[in-house]
Amino acid sequence: MKATRERNVRSRKRISLRRSDPHLERERARYENPLPSREWILAVLEREGVPVPQHRLETLLDIAPAEQEAFDRRLNAMERAGQIMRNRRGAICLAAKLDLIRGRVHGHPEGYGFLVPDDGGPDLFLNPSEMSRVLHGDRALARESGVDRRGRREGSIVEVIERAQRRVVGRLHLEHGIALLVPEDKRINQDILVPREALAGAHTGQVAVVEIIQQPDHHIKPVGRVVEVLGGYADPGMEVEIALRKHDLPYQFSAEARSAAAKLPKAVRKQDLEARRDLCELPLVTIDGETAKDFDDAVFCRPEGKGFRLWVAVADVSHYVAHGGALDLDARGRGNSVYFPRRVIPMLPEELSNGLCSLNPDVDRLCVVCEMEIGPRGDIRQYQFYPAVMHSQGRLTYTAVAAALEDDPRAVAPGLLPHLRDLHRLFRVLVKARKQRGAIDFETVETRMDFDEQGKIRRIVPLERNDAHRLIEECMLAANVCASDILQAHAHPALYRVHEGPTPEKLADLREFLREFGLHLGGGDEPHAKDYARLLEQIGGRPDTQLLQTVLLRSLKQAVYSPENVGHFGLAYEAYTHFTSPIRRYPDLLVHRAIKAVLAGGSYRPGDWSELGEHCSQTERRADEATRDVEAWLKCYSMRGRIGEIFSATISGVAGFGVFVALDEVYVEGMVHVSELGNDYYHFDASRHQLTGERARRRFRLGDRVRVRLVRADLETTRLDFVLAE
């Protein structure tokens, strides 16, 4: 009897312990058969104070036999997340108790790498021996093992908790009868062994995709099998095919999304017009680049009293792309359209991006309109949003509009010219308001590649920003500000486009750099965009303007998407969001849905807004990196026939290992290694952006002019190597 009572007491304790889970109700809401929450499992392990065998943990939490498999999955997920790990005896340990650091591995082409901690702490240096266990992008637990000779914290990998690389693109090589795939992503610094029986007909020198079937360890190289052969390295378009796979860009729509797109109507239907304003008689026009096919926005303005009334009509993508549907899931995964030279990877299928949603001329299209009343000083006095139907009166280009406004009125249809002149008058008012607001206006040079019949670069030409570009930009800024305002006014969550000012460290470096030029940035410890704008105006016309502007730009953070509104430093807005490009940017589509929910008196809940912001920021960076890769390869290929030529150039970047140079008129960049700067020891000064020779005191600084000779164009690394010409 006594033994039975003791068993019953222990049983009640176990049940009580499980029912004490503070997150039990949340788990019940999520799962039909709820398990103890992750937080409670960690709390129980913390209470035990020692590593706990799994069978004892199951006893403590009263895990029934039928729950065993699900509980195993939860523990495995916690292990992958780095919350727990198992010791050599198989007991479950709290990772936090083992002084382990959880983070993501960032590889370096030279063979070493870093563990970037999840908690934002200093990176851990991983030597080549430690990197032999992991690949770039893996998540791991590491222990701090010491300090290297440069004062960096060193780490050793304890456990890999998540493998990032499943498929890798690269070139096949045959060495001593062994096939190897050399990854295109040089941050993956291990070659992948490919058994002969796993080559799938691929030949040495070809570009292929391998699936990793055995991940690396201290004594084992990664092993893979060929799953796709892309072709020869120099085949037309190969640079894009490589970039798509290297950066894991979704380039094929799911079968469900293709099916959904095929079922869409070809034109606006009568039932789509319900509760919409008819703006078909309004002379709205689109103004875009010559090669554009997806037209997100159309504009029209007319003078009204001493001010203006501006209509910005934006494609109503949300009418056709419903939250949670196949089209929406694919669009969310892509995050944005990616624009390569000569090829676009759209966020939405072409039936939508170039057809039903695109504001093409001479057809009815559904839109969401921001109608604004703008005062004579550029202040937005009133605005309203509403769904409408429109009929674009013209597909205009920046070049044609600029020509019509300057000296060639025949560049556009006669009936549109008066409206364009009204837009131009509004533009001048908005530019004055922009200057008064103190927005930063960096002048950068954008380029366009012209190609020959074989798909290779014929020449690279600069793109001049004219008043037509700036006119559309100001109209879009006005609509985006109104979009953020309506969501703030109704306290509706949204993704803001946020841009923070300089960090204290970058600000200190910037002030030190400017001091050498006798310049001063106002604003004290918290400068405003207006302080940057004043300094840019002050340095305009100087021979070193480009240098100073570059340093000012690099002192600022990168703009991101976030539900936390901290304002947009560069544009000098207290609140700003993206509304005007829902065909090609997922955040804009989310904002459209939120605004429509506000207009309907409801709310839109797409999920975790913070996670969405991080995801959209990441897909934007991914697209930027992919397009940079493609452009670098194309430029490198085009320079192969110019080995030995001498070019005038500007130093565009400085690092401890050398200087980067941008060639005049050719618009390509390369590097002069520090060993080619002269027979001296050079020391890098990051705050001054310069390398200085120890003996001769020769200095190479950002913005300096140099003459260089091209000595190498390496397609595998897309690197152009130069030496000084003198």
pLDDT, tens only, 697-720: 899 998 889 999 999 999 888 899
Residues above pLDDT 90, as percent of the chain = 58
Pick 684 or 546 by higher pLDDT: 684
Q: What is the pLDDT of residue 97?
A: 66
- As a whole-number percent, the residues of the chain with pLDDT over 70 amount to 97
* Secondary structure of 436-491 in HEC code, one letter for each residue: HHCCCCCCCCEEEEEECCCCCEEEEEEECCCHHHHHHHHHHHHHHHHHHHHHHHCC
Nearest alpha carbon to residue 692 among 709, 680, 703: 680
Mean pLDDT of 82-92: 79
Q: Which of 23-32, 71-80, 325-334 has the lowest mean pLDDT?
A: 23-32
For the whole model, what pTM was predicted?
A: 0.84
Indicate the pLDDT class of residue 13, thresholds 50, 70 and 90.
very low
639-724 in CATH: which number? 2.40.50.140
413-433 mean pLDDT: 94
pLDDT at residue 715 in the model: 86
Tens-digit pLDDT profile for residues 138-185: 998 888 888 877 778 898 888 888 899 999 999 999 877 789 999 999
Same fold, 167-233 and 639-724: yes
Q: Is 187 helix (H, G, I), strand (E, B) or coil?
A: coil
pLDDT the model gives residue 94: 80
Integer Cα distance of 473 and 439 in angstroms: 13
CATH number, domain 167-233, options 3.40.50.300, 3.90.1150.10, 1.10.1060.10, 2.40.50.700: 2.40.50.700
Query: Given a cut of 90, is residue 218 above it in pLDDT?
Result: no
Whether the pLDDT of residue 389 is over 90: the answer is yes
pLDDT for 3: 47
Residue holding tokens 């004892």?
A: 56
Q: With 50 as the cut, is the pLDDT of residue 112 above it?
A: yes
The candidate with the shortest Cα–Cα distance to 447, out of 290, 238, 634, 666, is: 666
pLDDT at 548 over 70: yes
pLDDT at 533 over 50: yes
Model pLDDT, residue 574? 93
Report, as an integer, the average pLDDT of 632-652.
91
> 614-630 pLDDT, tens per residue?
999 999 999 999 999 99
At the topology level, CATH places domain 2-96 in: Arc Repressor Mutant, subunit A (1.10.10)
pLDDT of residue 443: 73
**Tens digits of per-residue pLDDT, 552-580?**
888 888 999 999 999 999 999 999 999 99
Q: DSSP per residue over 624-680, as a string?
A: HHHHHHHHHHHHHHHTGGGTT-EEEEEEEEEETTEEEEEETTT--EEEEEGGGS-SS
Q: Which amino acid is at 25?
A: E
Smallest CA-to-CA distance from 708 within 664, 655, 654, 657 is with 664
pLDDT of residue 463: 81
Break the chain down into helix, strand, coil percent, rounded to 5.
35, 30, 35
Average pLDDT over residues 267-282: 95
What is the rounded CA–CA span in Å between residue 703 and residue 337? 33
- Supply the mean pLDDT for the chain: 90
Q: What distance in Å separates the CA atoms of residue 706 and residue 698, rounded to the nearest whole number?
A: 13
Note the CATH architecture for domain 99-162: Beta Barrel (2.40)
Q: 141, 131 in Cβ contact below 8 A?
A: no
- For the chain, the structural domain boundaries read 2-96, 99-162, 167-233, 255-492, 639-724
Tokens of 8: 């019953």
